[in-house]
Amino acid sequence: MSEELFLGVDLTAGQRPWTLMALDRDLRIAEKRSGPAESILEFLQSLETAVVAIDAPAAPNRGRMRQAAVRRRLGMTARGQRWADWRVCEVELRRRNLRLYNTPSTVRAAPAWMRAGFAFYRRLADFGYTALVERASPAARLHIEVHPHACFAVLLGRRPVLKSGLEGRMQRQMVLYMEGIDLPNPTDAFEAITRQTILQGRWPLDDLLEHDELDALAGAYTAYLVRQRPGRISQVGERQEGLITLPADELLDFYA
């Protein structure tokens, strides 16, 4: 496929399917897939030019948070042990009140979904995908790490409500809709809710995306900004260890 696409991948471990969402340059959904990792990889291999955002770290942490110079730069006690088994990018988000996992220092200590992510990045490298390490990267195939919860937080200016509930799904879809993505307006669902639909248990929510799709779409939108509006992104972390890319040019010190 020659058209450039901007993709988000929400991965899982075990039997649950992975989710891929792709946007074109007009912010229309160009592809939507749910399935095993291999089917996602086959599609990504077929693309000539793309930016893919992945909801997982690329590798274990490299012990940067145990180094005195790094800790001092972050305003921490040089010989302290707090956050010692975290990546710098994860600490930078946690200190802004954005909750997320920590990436252990060994593959064996990582949970299954994280190990699946490590393998996924290795396969992308085999296909010629390279990491975005600066805003003007010319590579045709790029990958970035994202954290959807943090993506929605920086777009909202506050932490989103839980994604598993109806309110969380509507909030996330509204954010993406207002960013210009070609999605149904989630408030339209309210117009179809009547006394009868409530009593019959028929909720008109077909146009509301599932939370896995919304997470992947937040990644895809961040990937779109990387190429189309690079001044709209920020990256936290260190190039040597891993960067998390966010869809905002400025980040708040604290997200309530």
Q: What is the pLDDT of residues 51-108, one digit of tens each?
A: 999 999 999 999 999 999 999 999 999 888 889 999 999 999 999 999 999 999 999 9
Phi, psi (5° rounding) for residue 87?
-80, 155
> What SS3 class is residue 9?
strand
Domain count, the chain: 1
pLDDT at 204: 61
Task: Look at residue 237 and tell me if it is in a domain.
Answer: yes
pLDDT at 241: 95
Task: Look at residue 36 and tell me if it is in a domain.
Answer: yes
Residue found under tokens 């954005």: 98
Tell me how crowded residue 108 is: count the other CB atoms within 10 A of its CB.
Answer: 8
125 vs 218: CA distance, rounded Å: 23
Tens of pLDDT along 18-31?
999 999 999 999 99
Task: Look at residue 118 and tell me if it is in a domain.
Answer: yes
* DSSP H or E run through 170: helix 166-178
User: pTM score, two decimals?
Assistant: 0.94
Residues 6+ apart with CB under 8 A from 199: none
Task: Look at residue 84 and tell me if it is in a domain.
Answer: no
Task: Look at residue 188 and tell me if it is in a domain.
Answer: no
CATH number at residue 142: 3.30.420
Residue found under tokens 């693309």: 47
Residue 209 · residue 169 · CB < 8 Å: yes
Q: By residue range, what is the domain housing residue 142? A: 5-60+105-161+210-246
Task: Look at residue 97 and tell me if it is in a domain.
Answer: no
Q: What is the mean pLDDT for each group of 10 consecutive residues in the chain (256 residues)?
A: 90 89 98 96 96 97 95 90 94 96 96 96 96 74 97 98 91 97 87 68 76 97 96 94 97 98
Residue 144 · residue 222 · CB < 8 Å: yes
Task: Look at residue 254 and tell me if it is in a domain.
Answer: no
Task: Look at residue 138 and tell me if it is in a domain.
Answer: yes
* DSSP H or E run through 138: none
> What SS3 class is residue 17?
coil
